[in-house]
Amino acid sequence: MIDPKIIKENQGLVKEMLANRSMDFPLDVLINADKQRRDLIVELQRVKHQKNTLSKEISARKKKNENASTIIHEMGKIGTEIKRLEEESKSNEELFSKHIRSLPNFFHETVPLGKDENDNKITREYNGKQNFLKKPTEGIEKSGILQMKNHIDLANGLGLIDLERAGKISGSRFYFLKNEMVKLSMALSNFAIDYLIKEGYTVVQPPFMIRRDAMEGAVILSDFEETIYKIENEDLYMIGTSEHPLASMHMNEILNGKNLPVRYGGISTCFRKEAGAHGKDMKGLFRVHQFEKVEQFVFCKPEDSWKEHERLLQITEKFYEILEIPFRTIILCSGDLGKVSAKTYDIEGWFPAQNTYREICSCSNCTDYQARSLRIRYRDNPNDETTLVHTLNSTLVAIQRTLVAILENYQTSNGTIIVPEALKKYMGDTDEIGK
């Protein structure tokens, strides 16, 4: 969350930010709740002070063996008053906390202002070698336009997936991977992990389920309903990405500033309801309830976070250059930016069968937004004052989505799939699937 003090001190700034994010937000409700919250604190403190004073008096009298029954009677009344104020305070706190936690992060000055995704700016394009792009255009011809096979037809043709049976036992947006697809998926994971180790990351396999308090710090409230699965009768939630456990990993800790930045490479299965995406990408592996992902997560000092952000992007872009998957990098405009993020780059891979770029990576600087809810601070020396760290995250590779990109970009006119050069050593003898 953002610093609650800002509600009292600079409402104009918040108002402006909300407008630039094209967000409808009940700011008045929040401002009132904040005012009420502080009034209640003062009132409650006043009554508690009375209580403490009388309590001391009782103690003093008892020691001297004097009668304290009138004061004890008085205390009873104060007790009810405290109870009443506490209840009022609790419901006010709930209202305040709900709204303050939904308030999005302030964004960086380099974020272009804009209304929605149409105002995002392209910062880079990479076209790969396009060796394989040319071949499939010799492929299937349909109404005079040369068409490529989509990943579902390709994978079905080669016996690499079974979507029907997955639907039978689990419903839509699930899949069985089979044969070389399993190997390819693991090859991609292994390659990604080796790549991050080479870049100096600490690789981590986190818990796939975490408690509510840990999840709440990493995630914005509305995401609970739309994306996060809950385990029935347990205080456990399925992670939507390893970003969640990686962020909360250091919750309530004071990190040693000398160890920063800390760079983690998380690998996990990710679980998402996709409740807000009805009808979108219903077929295939592109948008699914369960997928693997290798994620980068950085804790750093505030003064380093923008440098770290560029570094994350550069490392991620290089990964797709090595895989020779065409992509473009865009910077999200203020209206399209995620609530937690102060600045986000998306990398969009080229999906030739859809004849379009689609998001495959998202690279964000969340500044102190997550760190504040999770209380993650640092200091250089044991008795220094503590400062909130900045957190950043970036997809390195979302395995299933990238498998789709590989299938489509590396397909041949024979319906086979060339294995990307960088993955060959992880694929044993297979250098072309279906040959």
Residues that bind RNA (CB under 7 A): 4-5, 8, 38, 41-42, 44-46, 48-49, 51-56, 58-59, 62-63, 72, 75-76, 79, 382-383, 386
What's the min distance (Å) between Cβ of 48 and RNA? 4
Task: Please count the other Cβ atoms lying within 10 Å of the Cβ belonging to residue 219.
Answer: 25
Burial of 62 (0-12, 13-18, 19+ CB in 10 A): exposed
Nearer of residues 65 and 383 to RNA, judged by Cβ: 383
Torsion angle, alpha carbons of 174, 179, 181, 183, to 10: 120
CB of 187 to RNA, least distance (A): 24
Task: List all residues 6 or more positions away from 198 whose beta carbon is below 8 Å from its beta carbon.
Answer: none
Pair of tokens at residue 10: 């600079």
Question: In angstroms, rounded to a whole number, what is the distance separating the alpha carbons of residues 332 and 309?
Answer: 14
* Between 79 and 276, CB nearer to RNA: 79
CA 182 to chain centre: 26
DSSP letters along 381-409, please? STTSPPEE-EEEEEEEEEHHHHHHHHHHH
Would you say 74 or 281 has its CB closer to RNA? 74
Give the closest residue to 352 by CA, choosing from 406, 282, 279: 406
Contact assessment for residue 208 and residue 229, using Cβ atoms and an 8 Å cutoff: no
User: Min. distance of Cβ 334 from RNA in angstroms?
Assistant: 28
Cβ proximity to RNA, 384 vs 431, nearer residue: 384
**Within 10 Å of residue 150's Cβ, how many Cβ atoms?**
20
362 Cα distance to chain centroid: 9
Nearer CB in complex with RNA: 3/304: 3
CA distance 158 to 351: 19
Rounded least distance, CB 66 to RNA, Å? 12
Between residues 2 and 419, which has the closer beta carbon with respect to RNA? 2
Report the 10 Å Cβ neighbour count for 65.
6
Burial 197-218 (b: 16+ CB within 10 A, else e): eeeebeebebebbbeeebbbbb
| Cβ proximity to RNA, 128 vs 302, nearer residue | 302
Spatial distance between the Cα atoms of 366 and 244, rounded to a whole number of angstroms: 13
CB of 257 to RNA, least distance (A): 14
Q: How far is the CB of 41 from RNA (least distance, A)?
A: 5
Closest CB to RNA among residues 55, 179:
55
Residue 95's identity, in one-letter code, is L
Of residues 215 and 288, the one with the C-beta less far from RNA: 215
| Measured distance between the N- and C-terminal CA atoms of the chain, rounded to whole angstroms | 53
Identity of the residue, 48 or 289, whose beta carbon is nearer to RNA in the bound complex: 48
| Beta carbons of 58 and 71 less than 8 angstroms apart | yes
The CB-of-73 to RNA minimum distance in angstroms stands at: 8
